[in-house]
Amino acid sequence: MDASQSNAPKSATLTIGDESWELPILNGTIGPDVIDIAKLYGQTGKFTYDPGFTSTASCESQITYIDGDEGVLLYRGYPIEQLAEPGDFLETCYLLLYGELPTAAQKADFDYRVTRHTMVHEQMSRFFHGFRRDAHPMSVLVASVGALSAFYHDSTDISDPQQRMIASIRMIAKIPTLAAMAYKYSIGQPFVYPKNELDYASNFLRMCFSVPCEEYKVNPILSRAIDRIFILHADHEQNASTSTVRLAGSSGANPFACIAAGIACLWGPAHGGANEAALKMLGEIGSVDRIPEFINRAKDKNDPFRLMGFGHRVYKNYDPRAKIMQRTCHEVLGELGIKDDPLLDIAVELERIALQDEYFVERKLYPNIDFYSGITLRALGFPTSMFTVLFALARTVGWIGQWKEMIEDPSQRIGRPRQLYTGATQRDYIPIARRK
Ligand code: SDX
């Protein structure tokens, strides 16, 4: 029986002084109920205060559900473990966008539509040449995705459902092409056009690693691995970058600009940049016997160092994606004949020690998706600077799906949080001649 049928309270009573207000309690299908405070300021003249939104539901959504205590992640109700194996990334994209798993015919049609939007406008390639070669690929990706709104004016009218879907398909289709172009530009190699006969992941690997001088043969084990990595990163409820996309979209900004905002937010090391930071951290640790030194630094309040790839705002259990990522890591290293990767040895030992340490156990800090992804992506041939680009590539479907859900929500309004003001009270201007 869910809470809506039980005798659970239908409202919460807020009492301030000798006044009381009833605040409605809303029930979801699963997960915590919410206290509806939309009218709180009008009724009480007071705001709620929740920096970092640790206890705040910003929206209603039907896309992704996370149970942080149990380590559960559902895309439209399907456990990530069940989607990451038999299906492929475009099946997950269809599921996130349309809400149901596709039939064979629907999947074939969706694959066809995405495949035929993978090319970008030819002038985009000139856009890249304005960057220095050593520009971080994330800076190139943010800029090039934002620039898409300069090319695709026929899919920026967000009030038109058809344009919203075309923009969604275009974003999913073109993000691998732009990501590969950012990589090729950074290493001074020519751009590679997509090939329609290849699947999404194979197409991406070929656009990244093929060169004009020889045929590129896709390794099916590796393309399956990168496809699965995309599935793991596809969506994750109202994380920082998804909330950024929703807030940007709430003003009516075009979808390409909203996705560019999400990429910018994902770049931070506390979020999507953690995969790049985690691999750098493993390199800095350098050997298994230096792990205790870094564990102590992570626990030292006076040291800003944190174990990158560890901890999560929602997961207070093992991130289910991290387990699948760890298995994929071993699969990729095995396929590539990498018998002992010293960084993997450090990662496995670091995890073992941390999970037994009272500091991490007490704070429920477990490896998250970023802990093993860096080792895997490096083994696949990507430089560290491309790790967050790959995260952004995969998360684009989640961002665009959440953006679409928000735009299509009849109760949608522009997001405009308030504040607790602790600055100067009103005072009069003093002409500069009289200032001391
Ligand atoms: C992603 O939100 C999402 O869903 C994100 C994501 C997605 O798919 O979109 O899952 C992807 O961003 C995963 C997280 C990647 N980031 C990292 O791995 C960076 C390292 N992790 C931390 O910075 C931290 O754990 C966060 C940012 C992930 C979460 O921070 P919170 O929820 O604000 O937790 P907190 O900073 O309040 O930490 C609680 C306590 C603190 O100690 P006390 O003040 O209670 O003594 O835990 C400590 C923190 O100091 N702590 C860590 C730690 N993470 C938290 N101590 C050492 N190393 C860490 N990694």
CA neighbor of 27 nearest in space, from 6, 56, 46, 54: 6
User: Angle at Cα 24 formed by Cα 236 and Cα 78, nearest 5°?
Assistant: 25
Residue in this structure with the two tokens 């559960």, named with its chain if needed: 72
78 Cβ contact partners less than 8 Å away, ≥ 6 residues apart: 95, 101
Rg (CA), the chain: 24
The C-alpha atoms of residue 314 and residue 68 are separated, in whole angstroms, by: 5
Residue nearest ligand 1's atom 12 by CA = 271
Helix (H) or strand (E) holding 268: none
pLDDT exceeds cutoff 60 at 400: yes
> pLDDT for 350-399, tens place per residue?
999 988 999 999 999 999 999 999 999 999 999 999 999 999 999 999 99
pLDDT exceeds cutoff 80 at 2: no
Ligand 1: distance of its center to the CA of 313 in Å? Answer: 6
**136 assigned to active site:** no
Beta-bridged to residue 79, according to DSSP, are 74
- For position 1, what pLDDT does the model report? 40
Pair 95, 64: CB distance under 8 Å: no
CB crowding 279-308: b at 16 or more within 10 Å, else e: bebbeebeeeeebeebbeebbeeeeeebbb
> pLDDT for 52-105, tens place per residue?
999 999 999 999 999 999 999 999 999 999 999 888 999 999 999 999 999 999
Q: How far does Cα 316 stand from its chain's mean position?
A: 18
- For position 6, what pLDDT does the model report? 67
Beta-bridged to residue 19, according to DSSP, are 16
Ligand 1 touching residue 310 (CB < 6 A) = yes
CA neighbor of 321 nearest in space, from 307, 309, 336: 309
pLDDT exceeds cutoff 80 at 299: yes
- For position 238, what pLDDT does the model report? 98
Ligand 1 touching residue 370 (CB < 6 A) = yes
pLDDT exceeds cutoff 60 at 209: yes
Beta-bridged to residue 65, according to DSSP, are 74
Residue nearest ligand 1's atom 46 by CA = 301
From residue 53, alpha-carbon distances to 8, 50, 73, 381 in Å are 25, 5, 20, 37
Ligand 1: distance of its center to the CA of 310 in Å? Answer: 7
Ligand 1 touching residue 274 (CB < 6 A) = yes
What is the value of pTM for the model shown? Answer: 0.94
Ligand 1: distance of its center to the CA of 319 in Å? Answer: 12
Report percent pLDDT > 70 for the chain.
Answer: 99
The C-alpha atoms of residue 323 and residue 330 are separated, in whole angstroms, by: 11
The C-alpha atoms of residue 181 and residue 191 are separated, in whole angstroms, by: 6
338 Cβ contact partners less than 8 Å away, ≥ 6 residues apart: 379
Catalytic hit among 111, 312, 319, 341? 312
Report percent pLDDT > 90 for the chain.
Answer: 88
Ligand 1 touching residue 270 (CB < 6 A) = yes
**370 assigned to active site:** yes
